[in-house]
Amino acid sequence: MLFSRLIDRRIAAYQRELIETHYREVDNMYRQIRGWRHDYRNHIQTMKAYAASGDMDAIKAYLDALDTDLNSVDTVIKTGNAMADAILNSKISIAKAKGITVCADAHIPVALKISEIDLCVIIGNLFDNAIEASVKLPEEQRIIRVYMDMKGTQLYISFTNFTAEKKLEKENGRFKSTKGDGHGFGLVRIDRIVEKMNGYISRNSEDGAFTTEILLPQG
């Protein structure tokens, strides 16, 4: 009993740390967006000055620089659910910064039965694990595929990434962690959320790819 309580406390502490990390990532992304919007008028004035002097090359160079800057903070995923959008877009930004290609297709209704905290824990952990595995590969092999949608009354979540090993090994029925205690707690936390919601989870390692599939009843 004492050991179980100790584990529960460590998992709770890990969850708080995870959520705080995700919050900082999301807050940083929106700070960049707000900063760009704040500078919008200054950008317009600068381009008007170039136009007045007839310097079209300067306008083109300025627009190219703005396009590059905006792409770094652009919201690329709009699922219909604010929490999912925030977490997915912050993680996609992090993945791109590490040279990882993300192919994401996500559609979620605004109202979900799952709490925002639990949704944050699941998406955040799955994305962090995929990024961790991807950075070990040559950049051309770094690909993460994300798919989220409703299947009837169930929320379907799928994450796939390539790994350095052709087939990951299991230990006591679980895939062995390569990140220590924190990684293990993340997996346990996901499993507990799925179990709490009477959902389904499947993890599969085959041909150098690792896939996690989750079904969560929302009816």
Which CATH number does the domain housing residue 198 bear? 3.30.565.10
Q: How far is residue 130's CA from residue 172's CA, in Å, rounded to a whole number?
A: 22
What distance in Å separates the CA atoms of residue 55 and residue 59, rounded to the nearest whole number? Answer: 7
Structural domain including 167 reads 77-217
Q: Is residue 137 part of a domain?
A: yes
Per-residue confidence (pLDDT) for residue 78, from 0 to 100: 79
Whether 25 is covered by a domain: the verdict is no
Is 47 among the domain residues?
no
Domain count, the chain: 1
Please determine, for residue 182, whether its predicted confidence score (pLDDT) is greater than 50. no
Q: Are 156 and 218 in contact (CB under 8 A)?
A: no
65 located within any domain: no
Q: How far apart are CA 176 and CA 183, in angstroms?
A: 10
Confidence of residue 198 (pLDDT cuts 50, 70, 90): very high
Single out the residue of 12, 24, 190, 139 nearest to residue 91, CA to CA: 24
CB distance 178 to 123 below 8 Å: no
The predicted model gives 134-139 an average pLDDT of 93
The stretch 142-151 carries a mean pLDDT of 94
Structural domain includes residue 109: yes
Is residue 180 in a domain? yes
Token pair, residue 118, equals 């639990």
Query: Which among 152, 166, 128, 145 is positioned nearest to 200, based on CA atoms?
Result: 152
pLDDT digits (tens, 9 = 90+) for 77-88: 778 887 788 788
Residue 152 within a domain: yes
